[in-house]
Structure 1
């Protein structure tokens, strides 16, 4: 039986998750859609709530019976990791007719509960219960009472992990060396795609969600300059110039980008995966992981992710003496305090430089 469609503006896999929530919670998602929250933000809320409602079900409780102790037990339950349920559409060929059928299946993935992940889940539930109180579904906010009674963990500001300029160049070179081993007569379209992706990350510092959301018309010519229009958090738009290396790689990719066989829904997507669909966050992470391994980077840089390439641009810009406000605008940070964490990195580099004097 097909699930209820909560909103046609939600991806089909997220609709399947949200459709299982109580009607009052579905209304919360419709409010987020009306407020133009990004698809990734909505998906994150759906995954967080799915964990919470699965926990309530295992305890024979409903959202109306949730109290501070239930919330406390939920966070303890997922403290060291959890299984996330996702819906994946698979194409299966009928052995008798040869017909291709699509089938949705449930997949479970174990995930570590990182510090940022814990903070996000708290923020998600905080938003939900505030909404339920505001709309008179609940009289009291159990999340508020839970947080009042909970010991606050110490705030530890981690220094961002980033690549040095030399390591970034090694990562770029790894794209060439990886594909040279394939002994192809000509460059594969996915090779030039991967190079363009890495150079755009290092050139613009865009988020993964921003990169996979790019369409072909996101690239705009402005005289001799090529700019990319990025839709950031909260639907905020910023336009950044691409340097010559990124422009060259992007042009090479667009010249080879497949046109035939691309589904109508993905025809305008800038970056495609091997199945000719819009590239996903996971797909981008796998691309970066592959070339990080090829580059044989030192231990500190061996777990570089797409987001850490964002850290790399910010750090290199500030190391070059760029204005903090300018870096804030490039990265699309709503608060300059977020950008200021990179100044700690610069200070630590100064400390290292003084230590190396050995006088």
Structure 2
């Protein structure tokens, strides 16, 4: 995967999925060569509704007598939900693993292929992506200001400007949350009243996207207030910082977004909006406005136009709903 220039996040995700699968095999006392389609079915059923994982985390403790800070590894158990996207990723991980093992003559046949042939109908049943309407997106942006007003702070904070800028950029560019938190200061190329952002996508592919006036204004306001002191050397080039003045994480972006989703009091279908669903929102709005599918593909950084085409199903679904509503009074 390194030689194929996969991102560090993708490699980490696959390693996590493999560890989960290997733990299952160890528990069942089955080696890799003995994996069958039936066993794979048992594994996916085992993690269907979530699973418990033991992870080792680094804990720092200060010695009260010497003041020396020591690090140690301690086990922590936690329950992980298995979302639809998580299930798809685990299938993709194992598909990649077994294909590799067969190609390199470690295995004679691919049990994952046989398993998927048997579950073809289930795999082809895709849900329509969840997205915000234009009005809901505007309410989400406005919620940043109203949320912080309720905190009764005396002044406009830099992290309020940061959150507004992040949401505007996600809605403007449709970039992935991993791409957002990976942005550095030099990824922003300004030219007077306009600016472009250089996005490093999957497989190390770069794309350049223009920021609309609202997103650029929000980013400029954040840059005016962004701290310039107390930032660790390895994080000084990070565009978006957290309150500890280190690079913003994907989890940090998600948690910030959820605050404003609640504040905006969005309808049930939009109440569980994630950063990735803001990407769905841009794609859907672009296609609703009649933009070319190839252009949308380039903006989103999809390697295949088939991935982009899923949003045309969203538009079709919206048309069907509109006609159904028309039938209520005609």
Q: TM-score, normalised by structure 1?
A: 0.84
Question: Counterparts of 1:15-34 in structure 2 under 5 Å?
Answer: 32-34=1-3
Work out the number of aligned pairs and report it: 328
Q: Which residue of 2 aligns with 1:56?
A: 25
CA contact under 8 A between 1:206 and 1:331: conserved in structure 2? Answer: yes
Q: Which among 32, 45, 48 is matched to residue 14 of structure 2?
A: 45
Question: Counterparts of 1:27-176 in structure 2 under 5 Å?
Answer: 32-148=1-117, 152-153=121-122, 155-176=124-145
Structure 2 distance, partners of 1:356, 1:67, is: 49
Question: Counterparts of 1:1-359 in structure 2 under 5 Å?
Answer: 32-148=1-117, 152-153=121-122, 155-222=124-191, 224-357=193-326, 358-359=329-330
Q: TM-score, normalised by structure 2?
A: 0.91
1:151–1:236 Cα change, 3 Å: closer
Consecutive unaligned residues of structure 1, counting only runs of 5 or more, are: 1-31
Higher relative contact order (CA 8 A, sep 6+): 2
How far is the alpha carbon of 1:41 from its aligned partner? 0.9
Consecutive unaligned residues of structure 2, counting only runs of 5 or more, are: none
Structure 2 distance, partners of 1:286, 1:89, is: 22
Structure 1 distance, partners of 2:82, 2:112, is: 19
1:144–1:345 Cα change, 3 Å: closer
How far is the alpha carbon of 1:218 from its aligned partner? 0.9
- The DSSP-based 3-state class of the residue aligned with 2:2 is helix
Q: Which deviates more from structure 2 when the two are superposed, residues 334-343 or residues 170-179?
A: 334-343
1:111-162 deviation per Cα after TM superposition (whole angstroms, max 9, x unaligned):
2323332232122112112222333333443333444555642622312211
Structure 2 distance, partners of 1:71, 1:156, is: 20
1:27-60 deviation per Cα after TM superposition (whole angstroms, max 9, x unaligned):
xxxxx11221011111110110111111122122
1:320–1:79 Cα change, 3 Å: same
CA contact under 8 A between 2:194 and 2:216: conserved in structure 1? Answer: no
CA contact under 8 A between 1:47 and 1:84: conserved in structure 2? Answer: no
Q: Which residue of 2 aligns with 1:27?
A: none
CA contact under 8 A between 1:64 and 1:138: conserved in structure 2? Answer: yes
1:203-256 deviation per Cα after TM superposition (whole angstroms, max 9, x unaligned):
101111111111111111245421001111221111000112111221222222
